[in-house]
Amino acid sequence: MRNKRSLPTRLAWLVLVLVLFLVPLLTTRPYYLHILIMAGIGVTLALGMYVIMNTGQLSLGHAAFMGIGGYTSVLLVTRAGLSFWLTLPLAGIGAAIVAIAFGYIVLRMKGIYFSIVTFAFAEICRLIWERWKGLFGGVTGLSNIPRPDPITVPGLLEIQFDSRVPYYYLILIIASVAAVIVHGLQRSRTGMAFSAIQSADHLAASLGINILWYKVLAFAIGAFFAGLAGSFYAHYFIYISPEFFTVWQSIHALAYAVIGGLANPIGPVIGGFVLTIVPEFMRHWTGFEPLFFGAILILVMLLLPDGIISLPRRMSSLVVGFRSKGGRSNTQRTGPGTEAVGVRPRVDAGDDNIHQG
Amino acid sequence: MTGAMLFQTLANGLMLAFLYMLIAIGLTLIFGIMNIVNFAHGELLMLGAFAAFYFFGMWGVNYFATLLIAMMLVGFLGILIERGLLRHFQAKPLGSVIVTVGLLMVLQTAATLVFGPLDKPVPSAFHGIARFLGVVITHQRLATIVFSVALIGGLYLFLQRTKTGRAMRATTQDNEAAVLQGIDVGRIRSLGMFVGCALAAAAGVFMGPIFYINPFMGLPPLLKAFAVVIIGGLGSIPGAIVGGLIIGFIESFGSTFVDPLMASVMSFAILILVLVIRPSGLWGHAE
C-alpha cells in the first residue's frame, strides 16, 4: 500500500486526541475553553478548504457556506421548531446541496474563474443576508438563538448546554469527525482521484475519471464541513449576523489550510490551531490583525510555500545541505520526503495546476 | 417610465461603465501580461482616492495635477509590488491569488490605520450642473466620463501606435514568442503593472468627489470589475470595454428600476450565464 502509518505517528495522534478530551478536566476557565472552541471551528473550516484545495481548486467562498449552514440551522430551529441535533447535520447537508448546484456550473471553468466566482458568490450571499430583513434579520442579524437541546441518557446523565464545556466537546467531536473523514478520503479511491485531478487532470480524465464530478464532490464535502461549523457557530454565540460570513472569513479559512500545509491532513489542523490561538495574544493590537494575517500569508507563500508541516523537511534538508560540501541541498518540493504521504499536492506547483475542467 | 428617466439612467450608467472600464482594463492588462489576477486592485483604487483627498482636498493641489500625481504614485507602488512580490508567482494562479489576497489585507488594514475608518468627502473639482434631453448631470460626472474616455483613448493609441505598446500586446498574446522577438518582457511586465495600477488610481480620483471614500471602498468596485473582466474575457481590453458597458448599464438600470441589491445579483447572474455559455468570455481566447 501507499503509506504505512508508523507506530510512533499513530501513538502521537492518540495522545493528542486524549489530551484534547481531557482539557476540560484541567481547566474550566471559560476564556481558555473559548479559544479552544474557536480553534475547533477554525480546524473544521480548514479541513474543508483542505479537501477542496486538494483537487486544485481555490474557493474564496467558504464563508458563504458557513453562513448558509448557520442560517439554515437557525431558521429551522426558530421557525420550524426542529431540534438542533437535527438541524446541525441538515445545515451541513444544506450547504453541500448548494455547493453541488453551484459547483456543477462553476467547476467546469478554469480554476482562476472559479476563484473569482466563489469570491463574488460570497459577497452576493452576504448582501442577501444583509438586505433581506424579514427572513435573515438584516444587518443586525438574528439573536436569542436557542441553545442545543440537552442530551439525556435516561437514568444516567443529562448534559445541559449552559457552560462552555459541552460546547467544547461538541466542536471537538465535529472537528474529529471531519478529520477522520478527510483521513479516510486520503486512502480511498476517491482520495486518489482527487490527487490525480490535482496533479494532472488531463491524465486523470484519460483514465476515465469524471473530473467534474470529483471536483463537485470535493467542493460539497468542504461545504458540508463549513455548514456544520456555521451551525455550531450560531448556536454557540446565540447570535448570527452577516458580518461573521464575510470574505475575510473565507480568507482566514484559506490561510489556515495554506499556512498549515496541504500535503497532509495534519496541516489544516495545525494551521487552524495556530492561527486562531496566536491572534488571541495580539488582542492588544486590535486593528492590526488583518495586516499581520495578510503579511504572514505573503511571507509563507514566499518562504514556506508548503506550509508549516514542511518545516521539518526544510530544516533537515538545510542540515543536509550544510553537511555536504557545496550544499547539494535537497530543496526539491516534489519527490519523496520525510512525511508519510505519497503524492504531495502543492499550492504553488511549477506547472499550472489549474486546468480547464 | 418617462423618457427623461431613461436618459438619466443611461447617463449614470455611462459614468459607471467608464469607471468600471478603467479598473477592468487594468486588471485584464495585468492578467494578460503576467497571468496573475490582482485581488488587491481595488485597494489601489482606494489609494488613488485618498491621494485625491489629500492632494486635492486638503492641500489644494490642482485637480489635473492630483490626477497625475495619484497615477504616478500608485503606478510606482504597482511596480514595487510587481518586482518584489508578483514576479515570483508568474503563471502560478493559485499562489498569485493567495498572495494578492494577502496584499489586499495588508493594504486595506494599513489604510485603515493611517487614514482612519471613517468616510471622508472629497470636494468637487467641477461645479455646476448640465442639463440636456431632460437629463440632469453634474459637471463632475460629465468630466469623469470625458477624462475616462481620454485615458482609455490614450491607452488605445499607446498600444496600437507605439513600439512599446505593440511589444506589450505581443507579450499578452505569447510570452515566449515575445522573448524570442527580443522584447524585454521584464520591463514590459513592470510597465503593464504601472499602467494597470495608474488606471485604477485614476478611477479612484474620479470616484472621490462623487462617492464618499473610506479604506474599504475598494472591494465593491473590484467585484464589479471582476464581473466585467470575466464577461469580456480575461486578457482582452475590448472585452473589458464592452463588459464595462454591460455591467455599468445593468447596475444603473437595476438600481433605478428595481433596487441596488438586485442589480448586483443580476450582474452576478449574467456573469454565471456568460461563463456557462462561453467560458472564456465574449472576447477571450478559447484555449
* Residues A5-36: tens digit of each pLDDT: 567 777 877 788 888 888 777 777 888 888 89
Q: How confident is the model at residue A4 (pLDDT cuts 50, 70, 90)?
A: low
pLDDT for position A7? 73
**B196 and B42 in contact (C-beta within 8 Å)?**
no
Contacts of B12 (CB under 8 A, 6+ apart): B137, B141, B252, B256
Q: A81-107 pLDDT, tens per residue?
A: 888 889 999 999 999 999 999 999 888
pLDDT for position B285? 58
| Angle value at C-alpha A100, between A96 and A105, nearest 5 degrees | 150
**B53 and B211 in contact (C-beta within 8 Å)?**
no
B113–A288: do the CB atoms touch at under 8 Å?
A: yes
- Look up residue B39 and give its DSSP letter: T
Q: A120-153 pLDDT, tens per residue?
A: 899 889 888 988 888 888 888 888 888 887 777 7
Between positions 5 and 44 of B, the ones with CB within 8 A of A are: 37, 39
- For A192-257, the DSSP string reads HHHHHHHHHHHHHHHTT--HHHHHHHHHHHHHHHHHHHHHHHHHHHTEE-GGGSSHHHHHHHHHHH
A352 compared with B47, residue with greater pLDDT: B47
Q: Chain A closest CA to B47's CA: distance in Å? A: 16
List the grid coordinates of A289: 490583525
- C-alpha separations of A203 from A195, A197, A341, A352, B3 in Å: 12, 8, 21, 14, 58
Q: Chain A closest CA to B88's CA: distance in Å? A: 8
**Least reliable range by pLDDT among B11-15, B65-69, B265-269, B272-276:** B272-276
Top mean-pLDDT range of A305-319, A332-346, B220-234: B220-234
Q: B98-150 pLDDT, tens per residue?
A: 999 999 999 999 999 999 899 988 888 888 888 877 778 888 888 899 999 99
Q: Is the ipTM beyond the 0.95 threshold?
A: no
For the entire predicted model, the pTM comes to 0.85
**Least reliable range by pLDDT among A73-77, A151-155, A286-290, A300-304:** A151-155
Across the range A311-328, mean pLDDT stands at 67
Q: Which residue does chain B place closest to A124, by CA atoms?
A: B265
For A116, which of B98, B105, B226 is closest by C-beta distance? B226
For B105, which of A58, A124, A251 is closest by C-beta distance? A251
pLDDT for position B15? 92
**A146 and A89 in contact (C-beta within 8 Å)?**
no
Helix axes A84-106, A211-237, angle to 10 degrees: 140
Q: How confident is the model at residue A324 (pLDDT cuts 50, 70, 90)?
A: low
Across the range A336-349, mean pLDDT stands at 35
Please state, in angstroms and rounded to a whole number, the distance separating the CA atoms of residues A226 and A92: 7
Q: Is A86 on the interface with B (CB under 8 A)?
A: no
Across the range A312-323, mean pLDDT stands at 74
Q: CB-side exposure of A120: number of CA atoms within 13 Å?
A: 27
Across the range B89-95, mean pLDDT stands at 79
